[in-house]
């Protein structure tokens, strides 16, 4: 068994609590579905947001999911780089798995697809 990091990112249109929670849930669900794991397999989840997301903690969306109550979550600010993608939520899900690095599917949604077009293309090809 290995500890693997699964990356994911999404964006919101507005700094709105409901939109942030919905986008975070959608992203996590996409990561879970693309990699077929259970909350018991998770070591921890690191969540970062750009400095323009302040309406709520994205971790709130994960804490309300059944089975995720005991998963360690940590929110932080993304490094504020000039011209970076705005209103972006990123997840790093650390999962215990027998999968190889090549078998891990990273998930990028909405405007965040522009962050890693190479990974988005690979993921799209793998799910066909």
Q: Which are the catalytic amino acids? A: 7, 63, 75, 78, 90, 108, 116
The CA distance from 114 to 106, in Å, is: 13
The CA distance from 65 to 107, in Å, is: 19
Two structure tokens written together for 66: 């059944």
Looking up tokens 């979550």, which residue turns up? Answer: 73
């Amino acid at each position: 068994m290995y500890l693997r990091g699964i990356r994911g990112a999404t964006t919101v249109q507005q700094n709105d609590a409901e939109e942030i929670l919905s986008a975070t849930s959608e992203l996590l669900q996409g990561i879970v579905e693309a990699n077929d794991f259970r909350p018991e397999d998770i070591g921890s989840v690191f969540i970062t947001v750009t400095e323009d997301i302040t309406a709520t903690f994205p971790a709130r969306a994960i804490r309300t999911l059944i089975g995720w109550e005991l998963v360690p979550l940590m929110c932080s600010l993304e490094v504020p780089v000039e011209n970076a993608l705005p209103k972006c939520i990123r997840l790093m899900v650390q999962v215990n798995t027998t999968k190889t690095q090549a078998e891990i599917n990273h998930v990028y949604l909405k405007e965040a697809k522009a962050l890693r077009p190479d990974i988005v293309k690979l993921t799209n090809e793998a799910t066909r």
